[in-house]
Amino acid sequence: MAVIAHETEQRFAVDRVALHHRTGRLEVGEISLVAAVSAHHRGDAFEACHWAVDELKARVPIWKKESGPPGEAWIEGTPVRSS
């Protein structure tokens, strides 16, 4: 994720990028990812943030284990990349 943050800073007109993904048990609906981008113009920040999150989803191996009445199961995510 640090590499993606650095690439985002190099690719876009932004000052700083921070990415953090929670670990541990989460309840349905809880926030698992924080992406923060600072820039002089909000459009640049939003564009960079969008790109960083897409890259994170495509490149970072995030594993999910779902727990419910039938038991526990590891969920394999399909990388998603927008154009």
Domain ranges across the chain: 2-75
Residue 53 confidence (pLDDT) above 50: yes
Q: Give the pLDDT confidence of 15-27 residue by residue, as tens digits.
A: 999 999 988 887 8
Q: How far apart are the first and last CA of the chain?
A: 20
Q: Domain 2-75 is classified in which CATH homologous superfamily?
A: Molybdopterin biosynthesis MoaE subunit (3.90.1170.40)
Helices and strands in the chain, H and E counts: 2, 4
**How many CB atoms are located within 10 Å of the residue 44 CB?**
16
CB-count burial class (<10 Å; 0-12, 13-18, 19+) for 14: buried
Residue 81 confidence (pLDDT) above 60: no
Q: How confident is the model at residue 12 (pLDDT cuts 50, 70, 90)?
A: very high
DSSP 3-state of 66: strand
